Amino acid sequence: MTQANVTQANEPASDSRWDGLILGASIATLDADSGYGEIADAALAWRDGAITYVGPRADLPGAPATLAREVVEADGWITPGLVDCHTHLVFAGDRAREFELRLQGASYEEIARAGGGILSTVRATRAADEGELLRQSLPRARALLADGATTLEIKSGYGLDFDNERKMLRVARQIGDALGIRVRTTYLAAHALPPEFSGRADAYIDAVVEWLPRLHGEGLVDAVDAFCEGIGFSRAQTRRVFEAARALGLPVKLHADQLSDLGGAALVAEFGGLSADHVEHSSLDGVQAMAERGAVAVLLPGAFHVLRETKLPPLAAFREHGVAMAVATDCNPGTSPLLSLRQAMQLACTHFRLTPEEALRGATVHAARALGLANRGVLRVAARADFVRWQVGHPAELCYWLGGTLAGDVFAGGRRVAGAA
């Protein structure tokens, strides 16, 4: 570890000893309803991928060398591993030229007529074989991991036919295997209308519903999503997708109320969904429905920033009604080419006025909840040993610095997967 001393204990390994023990850094456990859960001169231990001790060094139940196989002296701060709960990072090609055209005044419709927009990404993704799609997507996942994200959600939705949706989900699984981290896959075939179904949206939803059990049967689907919007799919069409997910016991989430209020937040709450994402136009009724059913509001400040939006999510209402707010990158080629969850946290503070503590919780505790994962996003005994040692003097610096390299070491399941050599 950089700026850390590692010692190997001399005693032979035994089943009762911890795999690793880090001493000396400050820890933000986030294991409370508020505050960082700060522990100074702390100790963090793990065994078999799970945390076995977190607390003051002075309270350890014995001499460090007798407790763990590897003992590390470290500085800085340790937080839970970050959880990016909304990404579209598996795709081929890019849309940098469209970004330039928008800045020159071209409208979305003009770009689409010229062959751009989401369907340009669909064409590129369909044209790439599985190996090429992995080759293009893996560096994006590595960038997120290097900046502290130890759990990723990855959506399909640029295939829009069975074979290519399957290909995207397979690549998402391969990314998790390659990086040694957890990837949660989300089926988002109801993302846009493919050209072969032009003018036949209901028929396309028939196909989306028919593909789902086949893909789920292959172990490729952890959750189901849809784009409920005027330029996407209606509430009735989204409801059909959700009913198909419910029949398979799959949780749902939703691209909800990004451009207008179609009642998406209330709809996902009705189905006991994990999260409503974007939510800039969600109504008070939607907020209250989310609060009643425990749905998480996933804030996506990257898209807000790139699209230069001005309509803020109902942040005061979320706070008033106790709706948990997660923060994610929305990494995608068109509206949020963002490769740092820490930068998303900074944008959430700048644009949405979240506090650094709210942003950190949003990228850990609440993001894990938005994926239905109870064993990460917090540092407590029995939680998965996903954590990051940051080279900072206080957790607020994670939202203060624009860019740069702050992650010293990144651990997933007790294994070091990224960071300084």
Q: What is the mean pLDDT of each run of 10 residues along the chain (421 residues)?
A: 41 70 98 94 98 97 96 97 98 92 82 80 97 98 98 98 98 98 98 96 98 98 96 96 98 95 97 98 98 98 94 98 98 96 98 98 98 97 98 97 94 92 49
Position 110 scores a pLDDT of 80
Beta carbons of 49 and 375 less than 8 angstroms apart: no
Percent of the chain as helix, strand, coil, to the nearest 5:
40, 25, 40
335 annotated binding-site participant: yes
Residue 98 is which amino acid? E
Q: Is 161 annotated as belonging to a binding site?
A: no
pLDDT of residue 16: 87
Among 195, 183, 194, 193, residue whose Cα is nearest residue 223 = 183
Task: State residue 7's pLDDT score.
Answer: 38
The predicted pLDDT at position 15 comes to 59
d(CA 156, CA 228) in angstroms, rounded, equals 16
Helices 162-179, 118-127: inter-axial angle, 10-degree rounding: 80
Token match 């959600």: residue?
Answer: 153
Q: Is 321 annotated among the ligand-binding residues?
A: no
Separation of alpha carbons 390 and 381, rounded Å: 21
Of 224, 294, 289, 220, which Cα lies nearest the Cα of 255? 224
Residue 8 labelled as part of a binding site: no
95 in a labelled binding site: yes
Annotated binding residue at 330?
Answer: yes
CB 263 within 8 A of CB 289: no
351 within 8 A of 301, measured Cβ to Cβ: yes
Per-position b or e across 379-395, b if 16+ CB within 10 A of its CB: beeebbbbbbbbbbeeb
Closest of 93, 133, 141, 136 to residue 117, by C-alpha: 93
Q: Is 148 labelled as part of a ligand binding site?
A: no
pLDDT number for residue 420: 64
The sheet with strand 82-84 has its strands ordered as 82-84, 149-155, 182-190, 223-228, 253-256, 275-278, 296-299, 325-327
332 annotated to bind ligand: yes
Within 218-355, residue ranges assigned H as helices are: 235-247, 264-270, 284-293, 301-306, 315-321, 341-352
Residue in this structure with the two tokens 């689907």, named with its chain if needed: 221
SS3 state of residue 322: coil
